[in-house]
Structure 1
Amino acid sequence: MDKLNPNWFLKARLKTRQLLLLIALDDHRNIHRASDALHMTQPAASKQLKDLEEMLNVLLFERLPRGMEPTIYGETMIRHARMALNNLSLAHDDIVALKAGLTGQVEVGTIMTPGMGLLPKAIARIKQQAPLMRIGVHMETSNILLDMLQRGTLDFVVGRIIERENSAELNYEELTDEPACAVVRVGHPLAKSKNLQLKDISNLPWILPPHGSILRHRCDMMFRRAGLEPPINAVDSTALLFIGALLRETDSLSVMPIEVAKYYASLNVLSILPIELPCKMDAFGIITKQNYLMSPSAELLINAVRFAATEIY
């Protein structure tokens, strides 16, 4: 079989009628009964089949004395014809639902950083277009979210792609990386410092993610690369409510993704120290399952996430 251009069907103007004919021939195995089922004349059906075979340069059906049998090429085309027509039927149903008020259910998973800024901005945009859309948001670590995605609990995830056995079954569209920053209580003596350096803060009390976490490892390596020992006087926690409360009671520092810190700083809960930390988390993005047919509602939300990402990042 000759190699086909990926857009051959566009150039060939493949007709829906030809797809229906393939399915009818598969169902009836007879050109007369297939043409009757489609309310076509037998010569018209024969011509459409001949045109399709010439287009593909293969024989799709064996003409037998008492009927027709699909060849291996015919079976392939029949299978794809059924899929294509089924998708068109689903598209019609989805459009009817959209015209009825953009209803639908979307389940999205998110890690903390996009859950604090990107996703709320995207959802606010979607709710202006589709106020009746039901959106479920699940904020967890990437590992948990990917398990939920692969079980079919979520439509898509905004998180990090992680090396695992079945990660090849996932699509990943990177949005941005995740730089970290140092934060303190409002009114902290260091909040208005100038020319602050790592050596000025390495021996101070810190609230850090637990040992074994990615951010703790990156934070420790940040100090080591600068020739400094990582903070020894440290409380380990990732609970934001606790971290905020402990910051208010002490002069401790903490490290967190800059988007999260900006959110809490806007509420006057904490201050971001004027120092650029050479420390960042891995990039995050939109993660979907391969060969998963998205609902219109999920597609709308994904597009809103993309649009919000261009505005924020």
Structure 2
Amino acid sequence: MPLDSRLVTAFLAVAEQGSLSRAAQVLNLTQPALTRTIKRLEAQVGAPLFERQPTGMKLTAYGEVLLRRARILESETQTTLSEIRALRGIGQGSVRLGVVSSAAEVLLPPSIMRMGAAFPETVLSIVVGLEDELAVRLVHGELDLAVAFHLPEGQDIQCLVRGPSHEGCCFVSGRGHALASRANLSLEDIREANWVLPPEGTSVRSQVSEVFARNGVPAPDVRVETQSLLVMKALVERAGFLTWLPPMLFEGVASPLVALDVRQAQMQSSRSFSIYCRTNSLLTVAASRALQQLRKELGFGHQAGGARGAT
């Protein structure tokens, strides 16, 4: 039996507010009315969705499952309504695009300029983040497309197109750093420096740890953790930190950053930008147009899979 959208909206409000009283205020309902609504939803799904505690409403394991799907359902509903409005000429088509920093800084600016000229009615909403964050946003229905090197493909995420190869990451310092002028550095030479890297658990941090572990050297102590590329580059350029970046983000004689000459294997094998979406998602007209434009502008050639596009 399909879930009533009003019940789902009520469920999401309680889950997000953590309280029946606060959710009732948000929904402009009385608390008894909201309580009856949640009970109807629990009866419909056949399982308790919340544990009533003195501190508020806590999701059960059943509620956690429903929350993931309810967010996707809500996102799909809003996307569908936006698409209908665009087709009727009431609103503009929009595309929610997630990109890793490399794509945002190097590849997207000229593409966006030409996409704007080709599809002036389309509004692009761009999220820049690490691959781990983009994967979560895709699964939750918060993004239509994502441009990244590698996202976990499977039940929730599929690769639409694989693009051209680029060099992997390397160790980076500022041009004025004492290590920048030295050749044939070892991992021991660089591990004691000040480091700025993304947090533990991210793919970038794992790559750095893997390089050190593969050569039998303890990973460096990271002094600053951040997911901001801007902060990372600023600390490397102006505060003497080291980090791990793809060359495309700092290549050029005018760049204040340089790749360190580390004798142990440090470069990742080449990797390719790819375009991802949620598995079997129905792309809107605007997202389908953006996908085709991205393929053309970014040099994507090999078709990996396909989402259904709205026509």
TM-score, with structure 2 as normaliser: 0.54
Letter in 1 for 2:95: V
- Which residue is equivalent to 2:198? 209
- Counting matched residue pairs gives 211
Q: Deviation at 1:222?
A: 1.0
- Distance in 1 separating the partners of 2:199 and 2:173: 18
**CA deviation map 1:75-114 (0-9, x unaligned):** xxxxxxxxxxxxxxxxxx99x97xx9xx732221222222
SS in 1 for 2:286: helix
2:288 matched to which residue of 1?
299
Instruction: Please name the residue that 1:225 is paired with.
Output: 214
Q: Give the letter for the 2:257 counterpart.
A: L
Q: Which runs of 5+ in 2 are unaligned?
A: 1-82, 301-311
The corresponding residue for 2:38 is: none
Structure 2 equivalent of residue 244 of structure 1 = 233
C-alpha change, 1:157 and 1:291, in structure 2 (3 Å) is: same
Mean Cα displacement is larger for which, 280-289 or 118-127?
Answer: 280-289
CA spacing shift, 1:304–1:230, aligned 2, 3 Å: same
Query: 1:181 offset after TM fit, Å?
Result: 1.7
Identity of aligned residues (%): 25
Q: Is 1:108 matched up with 2:97? A: yes
Query: Structure 1: 5+ residue runs without aligned partners?
Result: 1-92
1:271-302 superposed Cα distances (whole Å, 9 cap, x missing partner): 33345723469765211244444344323322
SS at match of 2:299: helix
Give the equivalent residue in structure 2 for 1:173: 161
When the two structures are superposed, what TM-score results if normalisation uses the length of structure 1? 0.53
Alignment match of 1:119 (pick from 108, 133, 144)? 108
Give the Cα separation in 2 of the matches to 1:151 and 1:216.
24
In 2, Cα distance between equivalents of 1:272 and 1:162 = 28
The AA in structure 2 aligned to 1:181 is C
Which one has the largest radius of gyration? 1
- In 2 relative to 1, CA 224–118 (structure 1 residues): closer, same or farther, beyond 3 Å? same
Output one character per residue of 1:97-137: Cα deviation in whole Å (capped at 9) or x when no partner. Answer: 7xx9xx73222122222222223232122123233432111
Counting helix residues as a fraction of each chain, which structure ranks higher?
Answer: 1
Counterpart contact for 1:215–1:281, Cα < 8 Å: no
Q: 1:128 aligns with which of 117, 131, 137?
A: 117
Give 4+ residue runs of structure 1 displaced > 6 Å after superposition: none
Q: Does 1:258 align with 2:244?
A: no
CA distance in 1, matches of 2:239, 2:93: 47
Q: Is the 8 A contact 1:116 1:259 kept in 2?
A: no
Question: What is the Cα-based RMSD across aligned positions, in Å?
Answer: 3.8
